Structure 1
Amino acid sequence: MGLLWGLIIGGLAGWIAGNLTRGGGFGLLGNIIVGLVGGFLGGVLFRLLGLAATGMIGSLVMSVIGAVLLIFIVGKIKGRR
């Protein structure tokens, strides 16, 4: 059940981050990947800042922040070429 919730939160976080940064989502699989990687990145960032996210809402917020940061970093790397 935890894997299913992780995929749902990842997909939702990726969709929200896509809408916040470029005006659209990345498709179902793309949203899930961006959300899951964003969740990992958000978790690392939160730990570095001494913050904690608990529950589904906390996980979603952390994943969205990480996904927005991921999209920003990828956009900067792609823009340099």
Structure 2
Amino acid sequence: MTIASILGAIVIGAIVGAIGRLLLPGRQPIGWILTIVVGIVAALIGTAIAQVLNVATTDGIDWIELVMQVVLAVVGVGLVAGLRRSRV
């Protein structure tokens, strides 16, 4: 992995995590760093699932893969927020 690919994963993870958090109704008691971490994990898992399902890679934006990543981010943010809420 190069520095550019690591920075790209962080940026994409931040965007995916933020979109996932925005789509989840209500207030989530997690910080922005945890949102980025959830987004990065969701982006990696979503990409892996897309590759397993043989989703075609296009020259532009891979919309199916992006939707998978955002759905996983919504689930991840919901799980983390629920776990943080139960500890408080």
2:18 aligns with: 15
Q: Which runs of 5+ in 1 are unaligned?
A: none
TM-score (normalised: structure 2): 0.59
Distance change in 2, residues 1:71/1:11 (3 Å):
same
Instruction: Name the structure with the higher helix share.
Output: 1
**RMSD of aligned alpha carbons:** 3.3
Which of 40, 47, 52 does residue 51 from structure 2 map onto?
47
| Contact 1:42–1:67 (8 Å) recurs in 2 | no
Structure whose alpha-carbon radius of gyration is higher = 2
TM-score, normalised with respect to structure 1: 0.63
**In the TM superposition, what whole-angstrom CA distance separates every residue of 1:35-63 from its partner, at most 9, and x where no partner exists?**
11101221232233321455684388143
SS where residue 62 of structure 2 aligns?
Answer: helix
Alignment of 1:1-81 (within 5 A): 1-23=4-26, 26-53=30-57, 57-58=61-62, 61=66, 62-71=68-77, 74=79
